[in-house]
Amino acid sequence: MKILLIGASGTLGQKVAATLSSAGHQLVRIGRKSGDELADFADPKGLTALYEKLKPFDAVAIAAGDVAFGPLAGISREQWQFSFNSKLLGQISAVLQALPYISDGGSFTLIGGIFGEEPVPMAAAASTVNRALEGFVLAAAIELPLGLRINLVSPTVLEESMAQFADVVPGMIPVPAATVAQAYKRSIMGAHTGQNYRVGASLR
């Protein structure tokens, strides 16, 4: 299976890459600054030429996307737009631009996060974007042609990132990036579509 992994150089992307490669798949690592191919998926036309170059392929998996953090009253319109352009519209465009090039029966795996289900202070943009991604995956799953599948992976805070977010997510139980990578494997190699794979949980 030929898999395009966007965001392969990040903490999560590296674990996803290792998991998929160890399963014997052909992996093309895509990143803004490093990888087998360079591209910015947040650019409105950032992947079209790359998809044309790499066709045919069987799956697109995304492990990247930035959002702004800050107090609700202090998040500027520009920060909201940045969050939408990067993590939300970037992933939506990555799916839509791939449709002419992905193999029949192929799949898309997007990245959401815990804040769509459990909002915390300072993360209003992340919560909004993650909920929007859930809606997109549900809607796209019933319209994608040619047997294509789409799923969302929504992890809690990564163990590897806990030091950065410890003050924002007190009491949340982190999950290793390697565990989240298994959800990508399940999405790509399984048969489900329209699913939100929630990985890890906070204390309740």
Mean pLDDT of the chain: 95
The CATH classification number of 2-199 equals: 3.40.50.720
| pLDDT above 90: percentage of residues in the chain | 90
- The pLDDT of residue 168 is 82
Is residue 148 packed enough to be buried (19+ CB in 10 Å), middle (13-18) or exposed (0-12)? buried
Mean pLDDT across the stretch 150-154?
Answer: 98
Evaluated on CA atoms 1, 13, 200, 175, the torsion sign reads positive
Dihedral-angle region of residue 153 (phi above 0 means left; psi in -120 to 50 means alpha; beta otherwise): beta
Half-sphere exposure of 157 (CA within 13 A, CB side): 22
Reported as a single tens digit per residue, the pLDDT across 79-135 is 999 999 999 999 999 999 999 999 999 999 999 999 999 999 999 999 999 999 999
Q: Structural domain boundaries of the chain? A: 2-199
Half-sphere exposure of 1 (CA within 13 A, CB side): 21
Mean pLDDT across the stretch 55-62?
Answer: 98
